[in-house]
Amino acid sequence: MRATRLVALLAIPAQVVVAQQSAPSQLSLEDAIGTARRSNPGYLQTANTIKSADANVRATYGALLPRSDASISTRYQQGGTQFFQGAQIGGSGDTKQSGYNLNVSYGISAAALYAPKAARASRSATEASIVDGAESLRAAVTLAYISTLQARATAALQDTLVQTAQGQLELAKAKVAVGAGTTLDIRRAEVALGQAQVATITAHNTAEVEALRLYQNIGIPKPATVDLTTRFTIATPTFSLDSVLDLARRVNPALNSLRSNEYSATMQVKVARTAYTPTLSVGTGWAGNSSAYLDPEFLIGQQRQSALGQQRSCFSQDSLRTRVGLPSLGCNGITFTDADAEAIRASNNAKFPFKFTRSPLGIGASLSIPVFNGFQRENQVQAAQVAKENATYSVRARELQLTTDVTQAYLNLIASTKTVALREQIAGQASEELTFAQERYRVGAATFLDVTTSHGQFQQALIDRVNAIYDYHKAFATLESAVGRPLR
């Protein structure tokens, strides 16, 4: 019966999961990756940069359009004597003023013409970095998913090993009961059972921690129970190293992102060189003003005094004319009536705030030719050129690193494939050895220490088998990450 149980251990699938409570949540690898792209804060921050890039492109096209601004203003001025540049200006009453101003200008330069193309190149670089971020997130979630599966498989295996250790304890007690064993055999079996129980507690804790890390990568809280539904198969890779290297050089998001940055840096060099070109500016504007006295009686008083002054002057001249026989000027006609005062009031009140007096139209144009600005242009061009060269070096370094990463990951995958086959063989041999040791112990041809030693080797062989299986899956995921896309 125990031999049958030991053989059954070898049939534990590579994707054993810990028994869950009722109605666990279902989570496939595809769902985990899709949710991560919608919820992972770090990735969402990277994806958000496209908004700024779009706004920058729109702004560069907007710089090719005319610019316009409008303003409207109002002002209160207290009456009294004022001074302007030391000269005294006559006193006046309190006034209220309003005005409008509308300006239209247009400027064109080589920098404005190159800016949209440079902005589009920068936006392409941003898009490439987002794609790179998405691939990095996919690789992180995949590895976390496989690590969680591995931890759960190890926990399930430890649960079964506890049952096996319990069976060995029962066997030792049975041997002692019939006088064929010793108390030492029981104590050794109890120690082995305790160690298996401790290993089970540790394995279940590790499985829970790995699940928490998985959901941290996804970007959402972990549910109470979750069933990981994706299953992976083990197969010898059918692709060659040269094929995956060629694929990686074409599709790797990190490399493509650096290439986009290199092109963007090249465009920035051209933009920097436009600082040597002239700029043409044309502008015009419309303006108007309106003003009125808070108390129109000030104007009426001024007009009344003016009329009286004219009348006095007229009478003075008229007296001289009549003395020399000239006809009278008719000074009695110079008067200031109530109708005149009412007209002044109406005119004053009608002006403010929207009866503007328009200013004359003016149009101006200027051509700005850069001559010397303290080597600032040269500094900008040199800085842009250095950034472009550094971007080129970064591409070259990433190409070299890509070759190393893909080659190493491919070799590790091939080695993991061979290791899995060997671990399967070793686990089978360890099972046979433990079965043989138990049968010999039953008939008194071996000691319990022999059984304990065989059980320890068998236990380690099973654990190594599970680890080898998931190391294979991790190696495959690492190769996919190095290439920059899934391969299965």
Encode pLDDT of 208-217 as tens digits. Answer: 999 999 999 9
| Residues 405, 245 contacting (CB under 8 angstroms) | no
What would the mean pLDDT of 338-365 be, rounded to a whole number? 82
Q: What is the spatial distance between Cα 250 and Cα 406, in angstroms, rounded to a whole number? A: 13
Is the bond leading into 253 cis (omega within 30 degrees of zero)? no
- Structure confidence by residue, pLDDT tens digits, 188-223: 889 989 999 999 999 999 999 999 999 999 999 999
Residue 446 has pLDDT above 90, yes or no: no
pLDDT at 424 over 90: yes
Q: Which residues contact 476 (CB under 8 A, 6 or more apart)?
A: 232, 413, 416, 487, 488
DSSP secondary structure string for all residues of 308-356: HHHHHHHHHHHHHHHHTTPPP--GGG----HHHHHHHHHHHHHHTTT--
Question: What confidence tens digit (pLDDT) does each residue in 237-254 have?
Answer: 999 999 999 999 999 999
> For residue 114, what are the contacts with CB-CB under 8 A and spacing of at least 6?
267, 270, 271, 274
Query: Is pLDDT at 392 greater than 90 in this prediction?
Result: yes
Match domain 2-69+109-277+371-483 to its CATH number in 3.30.360.10, 1.20.1600.10, 3.40.50.10420, 1.10.150.120.
Answer: 1.20.1600.10
- Amino acid 90: pLDDT: 55
| Sequence-separated (6 or more) residues with CB below 8 Å from residue 51 | none
Which pLDDT score is estimated for 14?
39
What is the identity of the amino acid at 56? N
Max CA pair span of the chain: 171
Whether 450 contacts 437, CB under 8 Å: yes
The residue among 75, 78, 73 whose CA lies nearest residue 295 is: 78
How far apart CA 209 and CA 214 sit, in angstroms, is 9
Distance (Å, whole) CA 154 – CA 62: 61
Residues sharing a CB contact under 8 Å with residue 32, sequence separation 6 or more, in sequence order: 141, 145, 214, 218
Contact 419, 472 (CB under 8 A): yes
Using the 8-state DSSP alphabet, how is residue 370 labeled? -
Does pLDDT of 474 surpass 60? yes
Q: What is the pLDDT confidence band of residue 58, given thresholds at 50, 70 and 90? A: very high
Q: What integer pLDDT is reported at residue 454 of this predicted model?
A: 86
Give me 2's structure tokens: 């125990």
* Cβ(283)–Cβ(103) below 8 Å: yes
Distance CA(206)–CA(212), nearest Å, equals 10
Q: Where are the beta strands (DSSP E) in 146-261?
A: 226-228
Tokens linked to 54: 């779009």
Q: Which positions ≥6 away from 458 have C-beta within 8 Å?
A: 6, 427, 430, 431, 433, 434
Identify whether the C-beta of residue 279 lies closer than 8 Å to the C-beta of residue 108.
yes
Q: What is the pLDDT of residues 136-177, one digit of tens each?
A: 999 999 999 999 999 999 999 999 989 988 988 888 888 788
Looking at residue 85, what is its pLDDT? 56
Q: Quick one: pLDDT at residue 87?
A: 59
3-state DSSP call for residue 85? coil
Question: CA 293, 299, 302: angle at the middle one, nearest 5?
Answer: 145
Q: Which residues of 290-313 are buried (b: 16+ CB within 10 A; e: fewer)?
A: bbbbbebebbbeeebeeeeeebee
Task: At 365, give phi and psi (nearest 5°).
Answer: -145, 150
Asked if 284 contacts 361 with a C-beta cutoff of 8 angstroms, the reply is yes
H/E stretch holding 138: helix 110-177
Question: DSSP secondary-structure letter at 220?
Answer: S
Range of weakest confidence among 72-86, 90-104, 464-478: 72-86
Q: What is the pTM of this model?
A: 0.78
> Cα(356)–Cα(359) distance, rounded to whole angstroms?
9
Q: Supply the mean pLDDT for the chain.
A: 87
Between CA 202 and CA 396 the distance in angstroms is 45
At residue 106, the 3 state secondary structure works out as strand
Query: Are 180 and 447 spatial neighbours (Cβ–Cβ below 8 Å)?
Result: no
User: CA-CA distance, 140 to 194, in Å (whole number)?
Assistant: 36
pLDDT of residue 1: 36
The whole-angstrom separation of Cα 458 and Cα 9 is 10
CA gap 413, 261 in Å, rounded: 32
Q: Given this model, what pLDDT does residue 440 score?
A: 86
Q: Where are the domains of the chain?
A: 2-69+109-277+371-483, 291-357
Least confident of 237-251, 276-290, 303-317: 303-317
Among 400, 370, 384, 463, residue whose Cα is nearest residue 159? 463
Mean pLDDT of 104-123: 93
Mean pLDDT of the region 285-291: 88
pLDDT at 2 over 80: no
Q: What are phi and psi of 388, to 5 degrees?
A: -65, -45
Distance CA 329, CA 315 (A): 8
Query: Which pair of tokens denotes residue 410?
Result: 């491919």
